Amino acid sequence: MTNKTDTPTAATLSVRELLHAKVKDLVGELLGTIEDLAVDPATGRVTYAILAFGGLLGVGEKLFPVPWDRLHWRAGDQAFVLQHHGRSRDDLARAPHAHRERWRLDLVDHARAAEFHSFYTWGPRG
């Protein structure tokens, strides 16, 4: 018999479980993994998941800051689902990405942060 505390829920995921967690699209295709998290120090809230995507065996891989509220935990898949309103995997490959060495600076630049955020909050395409 499995103890309920042995099975993570949305309320009990640890940082260790979040880091390198899989991120899938709405149809279950793997998009990448969470490499890091951005936290607002004033509120303690996670603001962005830093999604590692693309490349081959880590070479050429890019980082994509995804607003935290666009990710939803799907316990059955043990993965997050990116709610991206009709965008394809190819669209996501063209999403604005952050510089690996300075993604934190990219997020404090209001124009860059707005660019990241607006990509994931647009409605369905026509």
CATH of the domain at 101: 2.30.30.240
Structural domain includes residue 22: yes
Torsion of CA 53, 103, 117, 61, to 10 degrees: -10
Predicted TM-score of the model (pTM)? 0.79
Provide the mean pLDDT of the chain. 80
pLDDT at 109 over 90: no
Structural domain includes residue 31: yes
**CA separation for the pair 36, 20 (Å, rounded):** 8
Mean pLDDT of 63-69: 92
Structural domain includes residue 80: yes
Average the pLDDT over each of 10-19, 35-44, 75-84 and give the range with the smallest value: 10-19
Structural domain includes residue 126: no
Residues 6+ apart with CB under 8 A from 22: 30, 32, 33, 77, 78, 79, 80
In contact, 36 and 27? CB cutoff 8 Å: no
Q: What is the pLDDT of residue 4?
A: 46
If one counts every other C-beta atom within 10 angstroms of the C-beta of residue 82, the result is 22
pLDDT at 50 over 90: yes
Structural domain includes residue 106: yes
Residue 2 pLDDT grade (very low, low, confident, very high; cuts 50, 70, 90) = very low
Q: What is the pLDDT of residue 49?
A: 94
Mean pLDDT of 99-119: 85
> Percentage of the chain surpassing pLDDT 70?
79
What range defines the domain where residue 36 resides?
4-121
Q: How many domains does the chain have?
A: 1
Structural domain includes residue 18: yes
- Structure confidence by residue, pLDDT tens digits, 9-26: 556 788 888 899 999 988
